[in-house]
Chains A and B, each alone.
Chain A
Amino acid sequence: MKDFMMIFTGADYTDLGLSPEELQTRMGKWFAWGNKMQEQGILKGGEALTPQIRRVVGKNRTITDLTSAEVKEIVGGYYTVSAKDFDEVVKIAEDYPDYDLDGSVEIREIMVFDR
């Protein structure tokens, strides 16, 4: 088994005009997905991120504050899961709830260093 990270980009709820009802439904789907992974014992961790961004760039460490509107694909959160290979994570990612809001899941394998 290897560890993978599923990184969620796009689908920032802020300006989509979603109703409370829709938000609750979406949350329910996230909840069910998390539950499912936990029951399968594959969920290692994960966090959601707020949309505020402070970016530090370049040699001069220039600092800029950005909002989600100014960033093309904002990272909204991530989960780490253990799985056999990429294909298995793709299957897990099928339950990601926000594809219809143009959200996407990026799957990356977590590197293991030899000791």
Chain B
Amino acid sequence: MENQLIDHLFRHHSGKMVSVLTRIFGLKHLDIIEDAVQDTFIKASISWRNNLPENPEAWLTKAAKNRVVDIFRTLKTAQKNLPNINQGTDTIAINELFLDSEIEDAQLRMIFTACHPQLDSRDRISFALKTISGFSIKEIASALLTKEETIKKRLSRSRKAIKDSDIKFKIPQGEALKPRLETVMEVLYLVFNEGFHSNKKEKLIRKELCGEAIRLTQMLLKNKLTRTPDAYALCALMCFHASRLESKTNAENELLDLKHQDRNLWYFPLIKLGNTMMNKAVETPEFSCYHYEAAIAAEHLKARTFEATNWKKILHWYQCLNTLQPMPTHLLTMSVVCMQTKDFKLAKRYLDELKPEDFQQRAYLFYGAKAEFYAETNDYLKASEYFDLALDNVTNALEKKYLERKRNSIIRN
């Protein structure tokens, strides 16, 4: 009883098996397939209790193959137009689908299915987490801070969309590939952000979401069709961010800004991996938003202390990012970056381009930045005016506390 199982073996294998079986039987049998795969894991979890098999992965794959035959029998009674699985050539064909390279291909097909434009954008993440990452409904609900009922609805709506529009289990070819790949990367980035940005979730769940997003992005990098500079950049970006996951919150699970994070907690192997990815990403001269975001993240990681941050470079990358994808939040950040370098003229120019409406419920961010600007330029009257406005608009208790502290320090001056 010495050998230990690889972390997440079941989870990852579940995605593999669902994908391969879907490739054999088609998306219309997804329900049966998911149930069958689930059965295999229940069986394994009980029969392995006292004795792990020599090669757990091979055991699971064999179990999946056996399930193929079982499912086939079930389906065969319902419909006649299925190939006969017991005849030689089909068995060989099926064995081939269980080769590693084919399993990867099947998983990629599943990723593209989950991110298909026919699926409602909110449903894509849930469906991907279920079919590719083997999350249970309960796990998805807690990962997305949503009710289990809602997740059930999202999953059945996705399945219906797949059936109704007869989505094919394929990686799109030719012209169609580029826009579809963009959607895939968007979804993977959303999964990552779900994990990275919320301190309402348990750290374990957040780590798992980030880990899954990175794993799936790496899957894109294994296939020559989807191995693009943008995908490399996205992977680099995720690695850079994820390296800071431990330092992002304190023991009370409160968010810490970059200034107050313990830089010793940054996870070096991920930074290294991110650098490798980034080098691949810049082999061609065309850069995406992911490139610039990764460059910004890398710049922060390079600084040994907050004070040592190279704000000029960060500003440059933000300017590039905002040219490619103009967004009020970029401008706001740029103005805050300018305040770090005491370039108040430019900071004001960026602020003047913005209106509180640009930020909707997050207008307090705008007011807060304005307040900081006036405080830095010694206009304390205006500063406290804006701090009051920010405080009127903030809902998050932590951020409220932060703003209050700032305002009080100004009043004292």
Given A14-B42, A27-B44: A21 touches B49 (CB 8 Å cut-off)? no
Describe A's contact surface by its main secondary structure.
helix
B138 touches A48 (CB 8 A): no
Within 8 A of B (CB), among A62-113: 76-77
User: In the complex, which residues of chain A have a beta carbon less than 8 angstroms from the beta carbon of B11?
Assistant: 19-21, 24
Shortest A88–chain B CB gap in Å is 21
Given A17-B136, A19-B134, A31-B1: A24 touches B9 (CB 8 Å cut-off)? yes
Shortest B385–chain A CB gap in Å is 51
Q: Mark B1-27, 1 if CB is under 8 A from A, else 0.
A: 100010011110110000000000000
- Complex A-B: 9 CB contacts under 8 Å: A19-B11, A19-B136, A19-B138, A19-B139, A20-B13, A21-B8, A21-B135, A22-B139, A27-B44
User: In the complex, which residues of chain B have a beta carbon less than 8 angstroms from the beta carbon of A38?
Assistant: 1
Q: Taking CB as reference atom, which chain B residue is nearest A18?
A: B136
Within 8 A of A (CB), among B130-170: 134-139
B10 touches A17 (CB 8 A): no
Our pick among B13, B48, B138, B139 for the contact of A27 (Cβ within 8 Å) is B48
User: In the complex, which residues of chain A have a beta carbon less than 8 angstroms from the beta carbon of B52?
Assistant: 31
Does chain B have a CB within 8 A of A2? no
Shortest B45–chain A CB gap in Å is 4
Give the size of the chain B interface in residues (CB under 8 angstroms). Answer: 26
Shortest A33–chain B CB gap in Å is 9
Q: Taking CB as reference atom, which chain A residue is nearest B48?
A: A27
Q: Mark B23-61, 1 if CB is under 8 A from A, else 0.
A: 000000000000000100110111111101000000000
Q: Taking CB as reference atom, which chain A residue is nearest B2?
A: A35
User: In the complex, which residues of chain B have a beta carbon less than 8 angstroms from the beta carbon of A77?
Assistant: 46, 49
User: In the complex, which residues of chain B have a beta carbon less than 8 angstroms from the beta carbon of A22?
Assistant: 136, 139
Shortest B64–chain A CB gap in Å is 12
Q: Taking CB as reference atom, which chain A residue is nearest B15?
A: A20
Q: Give the distance in Å from the alpha carbon of A30 to the alpha carbon of B44 in the complex.
A: 12
Q: Give the distance in Å from the alpha carbon of A48 to the alpha carbon of B48 in the complex.
A: 10
A23 touches B42 (CB 8 A): yes
Given A23-B41, A24-B5: A31 touches B49 (CB 8 Å cut-off)? yes
User: In the complex, which residues of chain B have a beta carbon less than 8 angstroms from the beta carbon of A14?
Assistant: 42
Shortest A73–chain B CB gap in Å is 17
Q: Give the distance in Å from the alpha carbon of A82 to the alpha carbon of B315 in the complex.
A: 70
A20 touches B134 (CB 8 A): yes
